[in-house]
Amino acid sequence: MAEEWAFFEGEYVPISKASVSIKTHALNYGTGCFEGIRGYWNEEEEQLYLFRVEEHFERLHRSARTLRMNLKYSVAELAEIAKNVVARNEFRSDVYVRPVVYKSGAIVGLSMVRRDGDTTVFLPDDFFLFAVEFGDYLDVNEPIKCCISTWQRVDDNVMPARAKATGLYLNSSLAKTEAEENGFDEAIMLTSDGHVSEGSGENLFIVRDGTLITPTPAENILEGITRATMIQIAKDELGIDTVERQVDRSELYVADELFLCGTGAQASAVAEVDHRIVGKGTVGPITGKLMKLYFDIVKGKSPKYADWCTAVYPATVGVTST
Ligand code: PMP
């Protein structure tokens, strides 16, 4: 198999050379933040498109700022690194790009700073990025089955919920594992005061009487880029406004439609929550339309949204005979 390439410690290296010490702060304490970016292979154009790559790196910068970490590359530089890593791997299929900012200091002790006389010195941070071929994370053809997790979604004053912090994902991992062990596809997490927050790795929308509803950012959600995409295309393509408000657990049981969306998960209709059939237990009409729009857009098949798609490879010039 061909060597896989990553970006690590400022260089493009074979992935076998990209290793950290077991003493690394981030490995011991979860002091890092990350992104997940999808790239879609467009067979007709022989092109791979990264979806909303700038927005992902803007969020990575916001996460790093929240965690008091230093991300030394600009959004434009990060986008270039992502393109270069995917291109070096010569991927010709759908991919998932994983950039991570992490506390790279090999130091035991919780603080991310140390005192040096009168000054406070931050432990060093570093950045790496790798990419893998990636198929569907959740079923996007058949509706999925969800449960309400016994694990509450992390509270913003426990850990910053809108930062995509590595340590925070223990919360999601526990919820996802519990759901799968109990025979469900995905977990839906509630806030500590019992309102719907989101899936373990996806934002959530319901449809009631033709209205699209999603929990507000104040419900400890990750402010998803797919969520923002859905809100925009629902309005611009279907003329449907989204209401951002608190959602009760039992509203999920009586919703006409329910779907989860996120970069990894893409968009999946939910057929059941806690063994209650949602709507008709099929892909609902609004969900189906949004899913179709979404998949066309991310694959670079929708000229109106071409700005959201960043080509990885140089455009192949069509040969026209005269
Ligand atoms: N919530 C959580 C907890 C997630 O991990 C993700 C995936 N990044 C999302 C929501 C969806 O975010 P996005 O659409 O930006 O991928």
Confidence (pLDDT) at 1 = 67
Contacts of residue 254, defined as CB under 8 A and 6 or more positions apart, other chains included, come to 208
- Can you tell me the distance from the alpha carbon of 283 to that of 258, in angstroms, rounded to the nearest whole number? 9
Ligand 1 mutation pick, 53, 149, 196, 202, max ligand atoms within 8 A of CB: 202
Tokens representing 129?
């990025």
Cα 153 from chain centroid (whole Å): 16
pLDDT at 317: 55
Cβ atoms within 10 Å, residue 281: 14
pTM of the full structure: 0.96
Ligand 1 atom with the smallest distance to the CA of 200 is: 3
Which of helix, strand or coil describes residue 108?
coil
Burial (0-12, 13-18, 19+ Cβ within 10 Å), 194: exposed
CB 268 within 8 A of CB 138: yes
What does residue 134 show for φ and ψ, rounded to 5 degrees?
A: -150, 125
Share of the chain above pLDDT 70, in %: 98
Q: What is the mean pLDDT of residues 312-317?
A: 82
Q: Which residues' Cβ are closer than 6 Å to ligand 1?
A: 36, 172, 198, 201-203, 222, 224-227, 262-264
Catalytic positions are 164
Ligand 1 pocket test target in 263, 268, 294 with most atoms within 8 Å of CB: 263
Residues sharing a CB contact under 8 Å with residue 19, sequence separation 6 or more, in sequence order:
none
pLDDT at 320 over 60: no
